[in-house]
Each structure stands twice: as C-alpha cells, then as structure tokens.
Copies of this chain bind each other. A is one copy, B any other.
Amino acid sequence: MSFSISDIPVDPTALRADLLHEASGAYVSFEGWVRNHNEGQAVEALEYSAYKPLAEKEGHRIIAEAIERFGIESAACVHRIGPLSIGDIAVWVGVSSPHRGAAFDACRYIIDETKARVPIWKREHYQSGKTEWVNCHTEIKT
C-alpha cells in the first residue's frame, strides 16, 4: 500500500511488479495520460504541483479505504508533479486482488477519490499562448 508524489517519470512496469502476489488472480491498472486537448482547447504542455505532505497523507487514506472497502490484496498510486508533455503519464493506479470485480471497483475508487480530494493542481499551457490553472477559472466571482 503506497501513495506517492513523484517528480520523475512514472514507470508502470516497475510499479506493477510490486503488486505481484501468488494469491492474486486479478490486476487492474489505470493511467491518466496528458491529452493534446481539454475542453476544446489545444494543449501544448502542462504542469502539476502538489502540497506534498498533505497530498501523500490523503492519498494513503484513500488507498487504506480502498483496501478496507473492497477487500483487495494491495494497491498503489503515483502522481507526477512538474512539467509534463503530451502522452506522459500524469497519474498511475494499480490494484491486485483475488477477484476482478473488487480490483476494478477499487481502482476506480482510488482514481476518483484522488482527483476529488488530493491537493494537486494542474496548469495547462495552450497553443494560443495562454496558461490556466484548471478548475480555478470558473470559480472566479467578479
């Protein structure tokens, strides 16, 4: 069980190897890739930043909740920070479990909760030259 914030590229092959267990029959992984567009705008690059100590604490809580709730064998999540390019892995989640239903449900829970609760922010750089902190623009009251 682990959750980490990483400023180096995510290596799914190595992370997957840590979840191998002889008793587990099912492995589900999720990767969030940097897309070349978002809500109609062409994205050239982006960066993530995090409030690392709280992000890792909240992430550990999410993993613990998933293990408790779905009865999975083990799970891990890594979220990148720093500048990323199109196609880079922004976030990776892996779950191993005796049964596939629990593995799917837990993997989805972890990514959904991570996106909702973990203090990580994304700034997108558009082809137009503009940059924007995602989710912060529409909140402005003027």
Residues of A within 8 A of B (CB): 12-13, 16, 20, 22-37, 86-87, 96, 98, 100, 103-104, 107-108, 111
Contact A36 B22 (CB under 8 A): yes
Separation of A13 and B15 alpha carbons in the complex (Å): 12
Give this chain's copy count: 2
Separation of A87 and B16 alpha carbons in the complex (Å): 12
User: Closest B-chain residue to A112, C-beta based?
Assistant: B100
Contact B29 A33 (CB under 8 A): no
Shortest CB distance A128–B (Å): 18
Q: Find chain B residues with CB under 8 A from A86 CB.
A: 22
Q: Find chain B residues with CB under 8 A from A28 CB.
A: 28-31, 107
Q: Find chain B residues with CB under 8 A from A33 CB.
A: 20, 24-27, 96
Contact A26 B32 (CB under 8 A): yes
Looking at the complex, which one of B29, B35, B96 makes contact with A25 (CB distance below 8 Å)?
Answer: B35
Q: Find chain B residues with CB under 8 A from A22 CB.
A: 35-36, 86-87
15 more contacts with CB within 8 A, not counting A27-B30, A28-B29, are A22-B36, A24-B35, A25-B32, A25-B33, A25-B35, A26-B31, A27-B33, A28-B28, A29-B29, A30-B100, A30-B103, A30-B104, A33-B96, A100-B108, A100-B111
